[in-house]
Amino acid sequence: MTAHELPPFWVVIPAAGIGSRMRADRPKQYLQLAGRTILEHTLDCFLDHPRLKGLVLSLAADDPFWPALPCATDPRIQRVEGGAERADSVLAGLLRLVELGAQEGDWVLVHDAARPNLARSDLDRLLAELADDPVGGLLAVPARDTLKRIGADGRVAETVDRSLIWQAYTPQMFRFAALHRALADALVAGVAVTDEASALEWAGQAPKLVEGRADNLKITRPEDLEWLRQRWAHRH
């Protein structure tokens, strides 16, 4: 499937979080990586894609870092005020998509702001594999390490069969109406949804897992950023 045969899509990037585990003086999406912020690299994963219909970025209301970025004036990026939780920020982004003309059956991709190493090949594979899927799905990676379930005493309770375990990555790709309904209903019910797929699962759907690259990592801890800095040292 060539790039122009892939389905058109919208993107929502929730970026209102603080990221306290990074122990930094600013949210992790504004830390430097190869001369630019993590967020700028993340946005670049999508902005030049020929099938992108529009992109919405959900930011904290008092975000002092975004206005200073060169891309803050990019007309391809729509900004909305995010919420306290990820689901609130994604819902705010979906509401803006309605204003931009999104239809119920349109594909929406939700991607982590601090996941800047998404390969175009992974993005296109996700779009191609889910183009005609009735539910949608997400990039994911099979667990490679041995997994242990921990007991209350901090000791191993059991070893988990890793062949059945995959790590959920992003983007996560669902139809606009189904995603909006699942997130809104989960919020009303007080269900904790850690990603979009879990909201669809709670609504009774079974998202498809599309295997992606393991280096599409989310920068959560200082060592994640250092690993990418070393990886990208000769790339730019």
CA distance 73 to 63: 15
Q: What are phi and psi of 127, to 5 degrees?
A: -60, -45
Q: How many residues does the chain have?
A: 236
Answer whether 29's CB lies under 8 Å from 113's CB: yes
Which residues form the domain of 118? 3-232
Single-letter amino acid, residue 59 = L
Q: Say which CATH number the domain at 22 has.
A: 3.90.550.10
Work out the mean pLDDT of the chain and round it to a whole number: 94
Residue 161: C-alpha distances to residues 79, 143, 147, 198 (Å): 42, 10, 7, 21
- Amino acid letter for position 14: P
Q: Residue 19: which pLDDT band, with cuts at 50, 70 and 90?
A: low
In degrees rounded to 5, what are phi and psi of residue 57?
A: -115, 120
Report pLDDT digits (tens) over 29-72.
999 999 999 999 999 999 999 999 999 999 999 999 999 999 99
**How many separate domains does the chain show?**
1
The pLDDT of residue 18 is: 67
Kindly state the average pLDDT of the residues 70-87.
94
What average pLDDT does range 107-118 have in this prediction? 97
Mean pLDDT of the region 143-155: 93
